[in-house]
Amino acid sequence: MRTRKIFLYAAAAVMLTGCFGPAALQLRVAPLGEEVPETIEQHLYVLPQTVLKVEVAYQEVKHVPGPFRDYAERYLGVTEVIRSDFSRWQLLDVQVTSYKEPDPGMFYQVNVVEGEYDGKATDQLLERGIILDGTGMVQEGYRDPSLGAGSIRDYVRFEDLGIESNFEERTETMYKTIVTDTSFVQVPVNRTITEQKSPAMKAREAADFILELRTRRFELLTGELEGFPQGEAMQATLDKLDELEASYLTLFTGKTFGATFRRAWFIVPETGRDPSSYSLGMFSEQLGFIPEGLHEGALLEVLLKPMGKTAMAADHYAAKQESTANNLFIYRLPDVVQMEVMYKGEVLSNHRVSVYQSGALVTAPSR
């Protein structure tokens, strides 16, 4: 009998504990600014958005005429020379990277309506990067390695114009009149004049030097030169003769130099499943990147075409995206997007990237 009473007391205690124990957890997730009545506590989170960084490498090839271009055919018989200063530009490479940052239009509040929330479900979503707490710092930048460098024209100089002096001396004969008692007598007087050589004379000297280099190289190859070098010395001598000739030939034919530059753009794709395009600017093969107002060049653009990989999930969870849904977190599945960089109607590069803005809003249980 006593044992039966003890059992009844224990059963009553369990029932009373159940009645006055902790209440069942109830959460309501709502967009920031949409108040939920009778909220015990609130927790903030934000959905990530994808930012695409597009880096384009392009090159300028500068053609600079030589100072003796007008004498190339006369002294060397060379007709293919650069006559004027001009550039050619070309696109070399496209690189695409992506990163996440908070979406300013996707802040949500976790409203605890009843019970106690330990935050474990939120922590799991944060660890997986599905949601963000909004306090993370974004630091993604780009610096053109050519920034601060001089113009390519600064590196194209013709400094070695010959091995002879830039001046020449000539003697002039003048006549000085001397008055005598009976007549005027003209006496010849020689005068030395130093003056700068003309471009034609300098060109002739440079051409003679080129021909002399060719003669020396011929004598080396045929063994006619005294003190004939052997082995590596022979090859080093020939290389130096070739280098000198090439350097002096540019005085007539001109020089061509190339410089590579890079630019970067940050693109935040639009929300939704529709294709979209983004301009990277106008590019000209004669001028490089130019303002869009000029009637020159063609548009360099990015085309984004969502592939709808999450469309089925979006339709399935559409009814659960209401702010009154209890104990459900709202988050977004990234969709696969076909990304093309276009120029003059041609695809320069093709990529497949994951973009949150094109994905579906779905729900996950809070525990």
Compute the distance between CA of residue 69 and CA of residue 259 in angstroms, rounded to an integer.
24
Lowest mean pLDDT among 53-62, 143-152, 273-282: 143-152
Q: In whole angstroms, what separates CA 244 from the centre of its chain? A: 37
In this structure, is residue 79 part of a structural domain?
no
In this structure, is residue 206 part of a structural domain?
yes
In this structure, is residue 115 part of a structural domain?
no
What pLDDT, on the 0 to 100 scale, is given for residue 34? 85
Residue 149 has pLDDT above 60, yes or no: no
Is residue 71 within 8 Å of 200, Cβ to Cβ? yes
In this structure, is residue 250 part of a structural domain?
yes
Q: Is 201 exposed, middle or buried (0-12, 13-18, 19+ CB in 10 A)?
A: middle
34: amino acid identity, one letter: E
Helix (H) or strand (E) segment spanning residue 184:
strand 184-196
In this structure, is residue 7 part of a structural domain?
no
Compute the distance between CA of residue 256 and CA of residue 82 in angstroms, rounded to an integer.
9
Most confident of 3-12, 144-153, 225-234, 281-290: 281-290
In this structure, is residue 315 part of a structural domain?
no
Q: Which residue has the higher pLDDT, 274 or 16?
A: 274
Phi, psi of 309, deg, nearest 5? -70, -25
Of 75, 87, 254, 240, which is closest to residue 157 (Cα–Cα)?
A: 254
What pLDDT, on the 0 to 100 scale, is given for residue 72? 92
Binned at pLDDT 50, 70 and 90, residue 58 comes out as: very high
Residue 179 has pLDDT above 70, yes or no: yes
What pLDDT, on the 0 to 100 scale, is given for residue 173? 76
Compute the distance between CA of residue 255 and CA of residue 157 in angstroms, rounded to an integer.
9
| Token reading at 340 | 């093309």
What pLDDT, on the 0 to 100 scale, is given for residue 99? 92
Looking at the chain, list the stretches that DSSP marks H as alpha helix, in order from N- to C-terminal side. Answer: 2-20, 72-76, 120-127, 199-222, 231-253, 311-316
345: amino acid identity, one letter: G
Q: Concatenated DSSP letters for 280-321?
A: EEEEETTTEEE-TTSS-SEEEEEEEEE--TTHHHHHHTGGG-
Residue 16 has pLDDT above 70, yes or no: no
In this structure, is residue 141 part of a structural domain?
no
Across the strands, what pairs with 355?
335
Binned at pLDDT 50, 70 and 90, residue 6 comes out as: very low
Residue 319 has pLDDT above 60, yes or no: no
Binned at pLDDT 50, 70 and 90, residue 302 comes out as: very high
pTM exceeds 0.85 for this model: no
Q: Which residues contact 277 (CB under 8 A, 6 or more apart)?
A: 301, 302, 303, 304
Residue 141 has pLDDT above 50, yes or no: yes
Q: Which structural domain, as residue segments, surrounds residue 191?
A: 167-256
Q: What is the pLDDT of residues 189-247, one digit of tens each?
A: 777 767 777 888 888 988 999 999 998 888 888 877 776 677 788 888 888 889 999 98
What pLDDT, on the 0 to 100 scale, is given for residue 167? 66
Number of domains in the chain: 1
Binned at pLDDT 50, 70 and 90, residue 10 comes out as: very low
In the chain, % helix, strand, coil (3-state, to 5) comes to 25, 45, 30
Residue 292 has pLDDT above 50, yes or no: yes
In this structure, is residue 217 part of a structural domain?
yes
Residue 97 has pLDDT above 60, yes or no: yes
